[in-house]
Structure 1
Amino acid sequence: MSNIVSSKRFKQFPQLMWILLFGSFITRGSYYMVWPFLAVILYEKFALSATHVGLILSSAAVISVLVSFVGSALSDRIGRHQLMYASGILYIISFSLLAQVNSIAGYALVITLCSIATALWRPLTSALIGDIIKDKGTRELAMQSLYFVVNVGCAVGPMLGLWMGLTGEQSSFYITAGAFAFLLVLLWWGFNQHNKLDKEKVVKAQQISTEMMDVDITTASVETGSQAQSKPQPKPQEKVTTKGGGVNQIIKVLVADKLLQCLILANILCMFIYAQMDSSLIQYLTRAEVPDLLQLISSMIFTNALVIISTQFLLLKLMANLSLISRIQVGLVLLMCSQIWLALNPLTLFWGWIGAIVVMSLAETILFPTMNVHIDRLAPEHLRGAYFGAASFYEFGYAIAPLGGGIILDQLGGTWLFLITAALTSVVIYLYSVLDSLPRPDFVEVKIL
């Protein structure tokens, strides 16, 4: 673990990985120019309550989670490329429509389309990294790097939007649509280049195999030759056997994995807690009419991303000798502290809000990339797409957060909201503490026909 971050590992990144990193930067940057201010737009345009805004956002997110799981599971059978193209096109269509809608029903529909595109794209990207990078250490660095550039985009996006006067402007959703159109062109080129390299490797491997067989024919006995022929057969046969797995059969495997079930529950709660920053906190500050609202929201998003990009690899090195579970527990303690800080911070104390976001961002820096690595280690190779699809159920926490947070805001207020999320963090800490004691299926015996 101590040598995860090294120049040698960066050099092992294939060309397609660098395209994913660049594409993630430009799309996330444009996305965060506008998306975090959606709750403000809905409030100012239609005077909706926190519960109603939360209902719109939560309904869209719940639908998208279900679509994400099915899509990610199917990607093991029909391929990542086609689904990534489809989700990218859906991004372009939905963000273009979002720049034009003028009714509550229109916003609800288009936000749902945006959420479906997002929920499909994220697990597909993570699974694709597993497909194109075989070395475990390099793959972990790739996932950390993806998370890093996403947050660079998050840091640049809102501040650039504020500087350009685009913050809260509906027409600025066209920028995100354009960014995804550009990314699809890059991906099309990258997939073609990657396929060419794969074909060249196959041709070389076949040439080497042919040369070795020629040597075997002239120098080896019939018995040795038959053994040499039998060695390459198991691996292709395994691929044929596992590739045909249906969604129902994959679900049976996931249902049998009790550790995965507990992990999903813990991370649903974790996402519910974290998502309050993106939805309920902004609604809380908007309705409280805090001074310099748009500047505060942009500053919080910028701070969140800046802390992540400045501490991510440092924390990775400092915590390299800790187990994944230990790292996550440290992050959860920090998350709990941030929620208590948000609960007690005075409404008019600008830098108090920023300080709480710093602590929450440190927690996020530890938790989020580690969650992806955790799933990658748990997943059998032939079910990687299904496992990342199952991990998308984490998004249920993110999905119900706007509605749950909105109800608590309307009924109890912001202080109680963040005290409740602090209490929920302690539940997550407990669930992670019992993970190792839970049974898992024997994947050697599981046959996906």
Structure 2
Amino acid sequence: MSNVVSVKRFKQFPQLMWILLFGSFITRGSYYMVWPFLAVMLYEKFALSATHVGLILSSAAVIAVLVSFVGSALSDRIGRHQLMYASGILYIISFSLLAQVSTIAGYALVITLCSIATALWRPLTSALIGDIIDDKATRELAMQSLYFVVNVGCAVGPMLGLWMGLTGEQSSFYITAVAFAFLLALLWWGFHQHSKIEKIEPVIAKVTENNEDTASLATQSQSQPSSKTKVKGKRQAAAGNQIIKVLIADKLLQCLIFANILCMFIYAQMDSSLIQYLTRAKVPDVLELISAMIFTNALVIISTQFLLLKLMANLSLISRIQIGLVLLMCSQIWLAVNPLTLFWGWIGAIVVMSLAETILFPTMNVHIDRLAPDHLRGAYFGAASFYEFGYAIAPLGGGIILDNLGGPWLFFIAAALTLIVMYLYSILDKMPRPDFVELDKLKEQGI
């Protein structure tokens, strides 16, 4: 029965949602052909220390997070379309430049542009899903589906890049630029079609009302906004000062952001510090090992995501997240004790970490979607992009620990941080929140 319901919900996806899914697949696939090997390129080209590589990546990511918050909140006022086009164009420009730069300063600047584009794109996509799908269950399935296809792209990308001999090649950044150009063309067409449908729907509704031949109902419908109009009205942008006041008053959101900053710091060690650790330790066949880890990560996610979703359907979001955090902690301990030359030991640790990610990441998005009022969805997803501070400081923090304490200590510290995250999630329900009903009333009165 649940399978039938899922199929019905998939059929409820608007055309624009399918474009987002396909576009996410091709862009993530091309992105992961090259981006994970950036730290290796910097080390091999310029012989930079782990701390210096981390400083370049972290500085770019911190700037990107700040831009992302402002951009996502602004999208509630000027629309997702324009900002998505802008971030897509920035992707194309920055990845094209990344294929050509030859100096440390050039890399630092262009990596920053790439990071800004990525940080803008992700929350805008999540907020757009909320805009185009009203039904809560269908919207959550759409977010799970987006996460699924992103990881299919992550699985295909590095292995395809390795097979084509593109791994570690600077010129391969052009592939990502072309993929985003294609996605922008698809989005332009999708937005155009979606706007046509939105214009036709009120006409159909009006014809239906006339056919009912009930004058009183017709009069009532003209004087009162439809449910769809009400939803759109809620989604009108709040004033900037109101957004800041709401976010400051929402202590639950602040606690959640801090917990997830730590969570992202832990997880991001795989993308930056682990790769640096393996490269500098002269692990045999390091590029093949890195590709295999990325492939394993994505393969585990795409093969277990919907199974785990079904198994945990009766658990609360917080319970699911706590289970994911236990697995994340176990993976960090495994990484800390694994012998350098034990290839399958690294793969095993990544399997456990991937199971944790499968539970944690889509659940985080669903959690924010449930917390966010409709008219502040962009602002809340923008605030959630502060999670990326954890991802941003991970290369620098991990690099400092690597240079001073070594790889095992890095992962033991990450395991200890997981315990702090588990505690913060356990106290979330005790955190105060704003009265959104009262805020809506004040907004209607123009206060």
Class of the TM-score when normalised by the shorter of the 2 chains: over 0.9
Matches within 5 A, 1:348-363: 348-363=341-356
Per the TM alignment, residue 264 of structure 1 is displaced from its structure 2 partner at its CA by 0.3
Task: Assess, with a 3 A threshold, how the Cα gap between structure 1 residues 161 and 239 changes in structure 2: closer, same or farther.
Answer: closer
The one-letter code matched in structure 2 to 1:100 is Q
Per the TM alignment, residue 439 of structure 1 is displaced from its structure 2 partner at its CA by 1.0
Whole-angstrom CA distance in 1 between matches of 2:182 and 2:230: 39
The one-letter code matched in structure 2 to 1:276 is Q
The equivalent of 1:194 in structure 2 is: 194
Alpha-carbon contact 1:71-1:120 (below 8 Å) kept: yes
The equivalent of 1:145 in structure 2 is: 145
Task: Assess, with a 3 A threshold, how the Cα gap between structure 1 residues 306 and 73 changes in structure 2: closer, same or farther.
Answer: same
The equivalent of 2:412 in structure 1 is: 419
Please state if 1:121 is matched with 2:121. yes
Whole-angstrom CA distance in 2 between matches of 1:53 and 1:292: 21
Q: Among 233, 242, 245, which residue is 1:249 paired with? A: 242
Please state if 1:27 is matched with 2:19. no
Whole-angstrom CA distance in 2 between matches of 1:236 and 1:14: 18
The one-letter code matched in structure 1 to 2:377 is R
Per the TM alignment, residue 41 of structure 1 is displaced from its structure 2 partner at its CA by 0.2
Per the TM alignment, residue 365 of structure 1 is displaced from its structure 2 partner at its CA by 0.2
Provide Cα deviations, 1:168-216, integer angstroms capped at 9, x if missing partner.
Answer: 000000000000000000101111111111111021123334556x632
Q: Among 270, 294, 301, which residue is 1:277 paired with? A: 270
Task: Assess, with a 3 A threshold, how the Cα gap between structure 1 residues 359 and 409 changes in structure 2: closer, same or farther.
Answer: same
Report the secondary structure of 2:57's partner residue.
Answer: helix
Task: Assess, with a 3 A threshold, how the Cα gap between structure 1 residues 54 and 188 changes in structure 2: closer, same or farther.
Answer: same
Alpha-carbon contact 1:5-1:141 (below 8 Å) kept: no
Whole-angstrom CA distance in 2 between matches of 1:255 and 1:7: 40
Please state if 1:398 is matched with 2:391. yes
The one-letter code matched in structure 1 to 2:400 is I
The one-letter code matched in structure 1 to 2:177 is A
The equivalent of 2:56 in structure 1 is: 56
Please state if 1:292 is matched with 2:249. no
Alpha-carbon contact 2:61-2:392 (below 8 Å) kept: yes
Alpha-carbon contact 1:53-1:402 (below 8 Å) kept: yes
Report the secondary structure of 1:6's partner residue.
Answer: helix
Whole-angstrom CA distance in 2 between matches of 1:134 and 1:155: 31
Per the TM alignment, residue 234 of structure 1 is displaced from its structure 2 partner at its CA by 9.4
Per the TM alignment, residue 6 of structure 1 is displaced from its structure 2 partner at its CA by 1.4
The equivalent of 2:428 in structure 1 is: 435
The equivalent of 1:331 in structure 2 is: 324
The equivalent of 2:206 in structure 1 is: 206
Please state if 1:215 is matched with 2:220. no
RMSD: 1.9
Whole-angstrom CA distance in 2 between matches of 1:324 and 1:241: 25
The equivalent of 1:347 in structure 2 is: 340
Provide Cα deviations, 1:325-354, integer angstroms capped at 9, x if missing partner.
Answer: 000000000000000000000111111000
Percent of residue pairs identical: 84
Whole-angstrom CA distance in 1 between matches of 2:141 and 2:228: 27
Please state if 1:163 is matched with 2:163. yes
Report the secondary structure of 1:375's partner residue.
Answer: helix
Alpha-carbon contact 1:61-1:115 (below 8 Å) kept: yes
Per the TM alignment, residue 226 of structure 1 is displaced from its structure 2 partner at its CA by 7.2
Provide Cα deviations, 1:120-162, integer angstroms capped at 9, x if missing partner.
Answer: 0000000011111111111111100000000000000000000
The equivalent of 1:74 in structure 2 is: 74
Task: Assess, with a 3 A threshold, how the Cα gap between structure 1 residues 228 and 184 changes in structure 2: closer, same or farther.
Answer: closer
The one-letter code matched in structure 1 to 2:401 is I
Task: Assess, with a 3 A threshold, how the Cα gap between structure 1 residues 394 and 185 changes in structure 2: closer, same or farther.
Answer: same
Which sections of structure 1, spanning at least 5 residues, go unmatched? none
The one-letter code matched in structure 2 to 1:185 is A
Whole-angstrom CA distance in 2 between matches of 1:444 and 1:430: 30
Alpha-carbon contact 1:129-1:139 (below 8 Å) kept: yes
Alpha-carbon contact 2:50-2:400 (below 8 Å) kept: yes
Q: Among 363, 376, 383, which residue is 2:376 paired with? A: 383
Task: Assess, with a 3 A threshold, how the Cα gap between structure 1 residues 115 and 5 changes in structure 2: closer, same or farther.
Answer: farther
Q: TM-score, normalised by structure 1?
A: 0.95
Which sections of structure 2, spanning at least 5 residues, go unmatched? none
The equivalent of 1:367 in structure 2 is: 360
Q: TM-score, normalised by structure 2?
A: 0.95
Please state if 1:130 is matched with 2:130. yes
Matches within 5 A, 1:301-320: 301-320=294-313
Task: Assess, with a 3 A threshold, how the Cα gap between structure 1 residues 204 and 352 changes in structure 2: closer, same or farther.
Answer: same
Alpha-carbon contact 1:271-1:394 (below 8 Å) kept: yes
